[in-house]
Structure formats: C-alpha cells, structure tokens
Structure 1
C-alpha cells in the first residue's frame, strides 16, 4: 500500500498529540477570548433588540399621543368655529333687533309728529275759519246796521234771546 494513503501508527499518534496540544493551547489562550467576544456580541445584539423594541413602543405611544392631540385640536377647532358662528349669529340678531327697535321708535316719533302736525294744522284751520267767519260776520253786520232802526232791532232781539236771571 501506498504510505500516503494509509497512515502509520506513529504518525497517527503524533497527530493526536499535536491536536491535543493545539486544543489545550486554544482552550487556554484563544477559547476564552473568542467565547467572551461571542457573549459580548450576543449581549450587544440583545441590547439592540430590546432598544429597538423600546423604540417601537415609544413610537406607538408617540403616534397615539399625536392622534390624541390631533383629535383634541380638531375638537378645539370645531368648538372655536361653533363659538364664532354663535357669536356672529348673536351679533346679527342683536343688530336686527336694535334696528327693528330703532325703526319702531322712529315710526312712533313720526306718528307723534304727524298727530302734532295734524293738530297744529287743524288749529290753524280753525283759527283761520274763525277769523274768516268774524270778518264775514263783521261785513254782514256793517251792511245790516247802516241805519239806526236796524241797529235797535238787532239789540232788542239779542236782549230777548239772552235769558236774564
């Protein structure tokens, strides 16, 4: 057989001894740092995963807060719009009521003014009619009383009509 294909016992012995020495040296000097590095890497990965989970939870909380704030802002906007609409409606109604009241007051003043003007005009017409009647009566009496007999007859008729008590 070919010595390269079938190992001899001595070679096998020395390979096992060399493997054990290398294994002992690796376990003594290299295995601990490698395991330490692997543990550190595992801890770093766990820490990163927990931080990612915390960040995810914080993002969900922030999203919920943002939605709540948005809802509150919309409600506040609706409230402010309603108050503004109510205030505008109230102002319009007040202005309308004030205008109606002012119109009624002006109409009443106009009525009073018309009544007063009517009374003044009637008084003036009566005074004018009285003055005119007196003027007409004076002219008629002057015509009738041009002679002395007509004057005496008129005085007697007045005295007879006037009751003397």
Structure 2
C-alpha cells in the first residue's frame, strides 16, 4: 500500500479522471440511449410475447370450453336419438306382437269354423249313411214280413188310418 502512495501521480490521476468523464459523457450522449432503447424494446417484445401467450391460452380455454359444450350437445343429441330409436323399436315390436296375436286369433277362428263345417259335413254324411242303412234294413224286414199280398194290404190300410188328412 505504501508503494501505491509513492507511485501516485496527481497529473496522471486528473488526466485519467478527465478521460473517464469524457468517456462517460460520450457514452451518455451516444451509447446509453440506444442501449436503454434496445433494452426497452426487448422488454416490450417480451411483454408482448407474454401477452400474446396469455391471449392464446385464454383462446385455447375458450375453444376447449366450446369443444366441451359441443361434445355435450352431441352426446345429448346421440342419447335422444338412441332413446327415440329404442322407442320406435319397442313400438314396432309391440305392433308386430299385436298383429301376430290378431293373425293367430283369425287363424284359430278359421280353423274352428273349418272344423265345425267338417264336423257338420261328417254328421250329415253319417246321418245319410244311417238313413240308407235303416231304409235298407227296413226294406229287407218289410219284404220278409210282407211276402204275401194280404199282409201288404193290411199294412197299407193301417198306415192310411194313422195318417190324418187336413
């Protein structure tokens, strides 16, 4: 430290001080403003980028909210369509069951009517056969009993007496 004091030169010190002051004045006049301006521009650019990023983030949130809303609406519409399709399916099935029941009832009624007609035809045929057999048996019995002319006359007279004339 003593050596620094011994080597100290006041002229050199003032000269260096003047050079420093001139350098500071020149820097202040020509360099500080452009440096500060560029720093301000950079700060403004960074702030602008941050603002744009914030706006983009908000816009993305809005788009996501809109997408969610559209998705909910689409789901609701899909659910409504599915419900309507189920109702239509159930209605078609119910109508088909009802129509099948009616058709089955008609077929059963037709079958019953056909059976009744066939039954009546069979009974009529049976009555006809029984009548033919009865007439055949009666003819045979009458022929044997009324082999003579006198027996035939007595039978005819007896029948005429039983018949009343109006």
Length-normalised TM-score, structure 1:
0.88
* Matched residues, number: 165
Could you tell me which residue of structure 1 aligns to residue 94 of structure 2?
A: 93
Could you tell me which residue of structure 1 aligns to residue 5 of structure 2?
A: 5
Q: 1:111: how far off?
A: 0.4
Could you tell me which residue of structure 2 aligns to residue 25 of structure 1?
A: 26
Q: 1:140: how far off?
A: 1.8
SS at match of 1:154: helix
Deviations for 1:17-76, whole angstroms, at most 9, x for unmatched residues?
222211221122211211121111011011011001101101111221222222223223
Q: 1:8: how far off?
A: 4.9
Length-normalised TM-score, structure 2:
0.88
Q: 1:114: how far off?
A: 0.7
Could you tell me which residue of structure 1 aligns to residue 160 of structure 2?
A: 159
Alpha-carbon distance between aligned partners in 2 of 1:96 and 1:164, rounded to the nearest angstrom: 66
Alpha-carbon distance between aligned partners in 1 of 2:37 and 2:144, rounded to the nearest angstrom: 155
Q: 1:135: how far off?
A: 1.1
Could you tell me which residue of structure 1 aligns to residue 109 of structure 2?
A: 108
Alpha-carbon distance between aligned partners in 1 of 2:50 and 2:20, rounded to the nearest angstrom: 39
More displaced 10-residue stretch of structure 1: 33-42 or 67-76: 67-76
Could you tell me which residue of structure 2 aligns to residue 61 of structure 1?
A: 62
Could you tell me which residue of structure 1 aligns to residue 79 of structure 2?
A: 78
Alpha-carbon distance between aligned partners in 2 of 1:5 and 1:130, rounded to the nearest angstrom: 170
